[in-house]
Chains A and B, each alone.
Chain A
């Protein structure tokens, strides 16, 4: 089955700086990689995702890159703001011989943006 590793576990940046979170996955059959943001006491919410036929995707200050050969993908947040402070989870669909639906998550990165 799929295994997802996420680094770093905590990240502290100054407001306005960039933040980068990296994930690796093990199953070369995985083809969908979402990123979720979870604020304290709230539910995880999708912020961006990427499919394996694309190398990079941007949405305003957020971008995700995917390297299929190396089996890693990264989240980039530019011009960070205090409201970006949250726990970020990367995930990969478990290829599992063609089954669908179950996301395998990394252990999360707690991002703190200091004003």
Chain B
């Protein structure tokens, strides 16, 4: 079974631009969560989608948004990029995503904002 994939793997953008990241979950997994990883803040939860609906959202500004498609693939969008948005963005998929459902992480997208 193929693992979680993310595209692109690396991105360089400038302040004020917007970016869209993509995540393809493991086949059969219906839940996709997104995390931001930075050296200072560690892994921070962004949002979680299940069956095309956002179920949970972390404490990030409205510039961060996402969606999920009927095939469970998910995208996240960051508008009006700021220098502080430079980070590794990880998505994770799980079958249902309840307590005890293992989340499998993708390799991440490394975003650099100049």
Contacts and interface: CB of A to CB of B under 8 A. Distances in A.
Interface residues of B, number: 28
Contacts of B33: 101-103
A36 B90 CA distance: 14
Interface stretch (A38-46, A57-65, A66-74, A76-84): A38-46
Contacts, number: 70
A61 B2 CA distance: 28
Contacts of A31: 99
B102 A34 contact: yes
Interface residues of A, number: 26
A105 B99 CA distance: 15
Interface of A: 31-32, 34, 36, 42-46, 49, 51, 89, 91, 93-94, 96, 99-108
